[in-house]
Amino acid sequence: MTISTPTHAVSSHIDEPWFREEHVLFREQVRRFVEDEVKPKAEAWEETGFVPRPVLKKMGELGFLGVRYPEEYGGSAMDTVATAVLAEELGKSTFGGFAVTVLVHTDMASPHLVNAGSKAQLDKYLPDIIAGKKITAVAVTEPDAGSDVAGMRTTAKKDGGDYVLNGTKMFITNGVHADVFFVAAKTDTTVKGTRGISMFIVEKGTPGFTVSRALKKHGWLSSDTAELVFDNCRVPAANMLGEENKGFYAVMKNFQNERIVLGAQAMGEAQTALALTIDYVRTRKAFGATLWDKQAIRQRIAMLSAKVEAARQLLYKAAWLDAQGREIVKDVSMVKALCGELVNEVMYDCQQFHGGFGYIRESAIERMVRDARIQSIGGGATEVMLEEIAKRL
């Protein structure tokens, strides 16, 4: 089903303080790509369960997969605000599975390589990652250890010039089709808590590493998600990312980036849902007038619009602060908690105002409701985020 652009599509925000001209131009480029290459085709990706590789390669050719990475490797050397712009525009596509496929590659997995990789590792992997020739995934979450990284059970034991990995990873986005995985494992099991964790580069096809199953999900249907198993998987010691036993700090550092892009994706989704709903209620008639003529409906939409704009400004403030090198743990935790909950509030009312049509699979709103549900869970559940905020109050 081809989805037309809402007549109330959000402006380019050129006059907002967070943006420079390069951000506005970048937004327009991403928006055109979404209109031309995603919306007309992504319904088929929902059926197949993944985003076709040629689409990702085209995004690489256009410079969308290395927004903040060094120019010497093919990146654009932009800032965190540009990352948020990318995520927001992908969120507006109405296909959350497509958006998260890209964002895991650009802002949740590959940053581990850029932040901690040696020159040899960067030279080997980063150009193809930026070009979309190799797609990445990050494997931290386990069946019994999600936001609680301290509960990790996957181990990596040194054996000669290798590390031998054993364990299971769960809910891994891009896990079925990725080429390069950044895997967290315990390298020192004698210490408790978050100490003793290291990060490794594991390539698809490494003996002992298998995708045990593709997971069927409630939403994000065009995103492939997998359970991974490491059974005496030998990884060269040269594939360790950063320092041994310092992987927890790498995971925590990148959580901030992950939560910014998830917040931006959520706000892109919320804006488009409201725009689609305004178009619908302005034309849908009931009891002799349009739904827009019902005061309760238009006032509820007005309040949701105000909330989304407020959350969006908080999001871009956090991205701007990060671009200035400022501490943002409290800010980004607020972003993740607020945006993850708000997008679900928006979707509930938008589906309600669409009536029966909002419950039918051919409706964009129906899909967006399913896709939004994970936003208060993935990347740090709301309850975890609120504790992070409370610690800093």
- pLDDT (tens digit per residue) in 147-175: 667 778 999 999 999 999 999 999 999 99
pLDDT at 251: 85
For the ranges 52-61, 137-146, 217-226, the lowest mean pLDDT is seen at 137-146
pLDDT at 14: 59
Q: Would you say 333 and 315 are in contact if contact means Cβ atoms under 8 Å apart?
A: no
Rounded CA separation 381/383 (Å)? 5
243 has a pLDDT exceeding 80? yes
**What tokens appear for 212 in the block?**
């045990």
184 has a pLDDT exceeding 60? yes
Q: Rg of the chain over CA atoms, in angstroms?
A: 21
pLDDT at 42: 97
List the one residue out of 22, 24, 58 whose CA is nearest residue 38: 58
Characterise 316 by phi-psi region: left (phi > 0), alpha (psi -120 to 50), beta (else): alpha
**What tokens appear for 170 in the block?**
């769960």
Residue from 142, 258, 269, 388 carrying the catalytic annotation: 258
For the ranges 131-145, 218-232, 298-312, the lowest mean pLDDT is seen at 131-145
258 in catalytic set: yes
In the chain, the DSSP E strands lie at 136-139, 155-159, 162-173, 180-186, 197-203, 209-214, 225-236, 240-241, 285-286, 289-290
Residues whose CB is less than 8 angstroms from the CB of residue 202 and which lie 6 or more positions away in sequence, other chains included: 139, 165, 180, 181, 182, 183, 209, 230, 233, 235, 239
**What tokens appear for 44 in the block?**
């088929």
Rounded CA separation 339/382 (Å)? 10
Enclosing H/E stretch for 103: helix 96-103
pLDDT at 144: 78
Rounded CA separation 368/366 (Å)? 6
| 252 pLDDT tier (thresholds 50, 70, 90) | confident
- Beta-carbon neighbour count of residue 129 at 10 Å? 27
Looking at every residue in the chain, the average pLDDT score rounds to 93
Mean pLDDT of the region 365-389: 96
pLDDT at 55: 98
Strand partners, 180: 136, 203
Q: Which domains does the chain have, with CATH numbers?
A: 21-131 (1.10.540.10), 136-244 (2.40.110.10), 249-391 (1.20.140.10)
- Coil, helix or strand for 260? helix
pLDDT at 10: 42
At 99, the amino acid letter reads A
Residue percentage of the chain with pLDDT more than 90: 87
| 1 pLDDT tier (thresholds 50, 70, 90) | very low
Mean pLDDT of the region 216-224: 96
List the one residue out of 113, 137, 115, 116 whose CA is nearest residue 125: 113
**What tokens appear for 180 in the block?**
């390069």
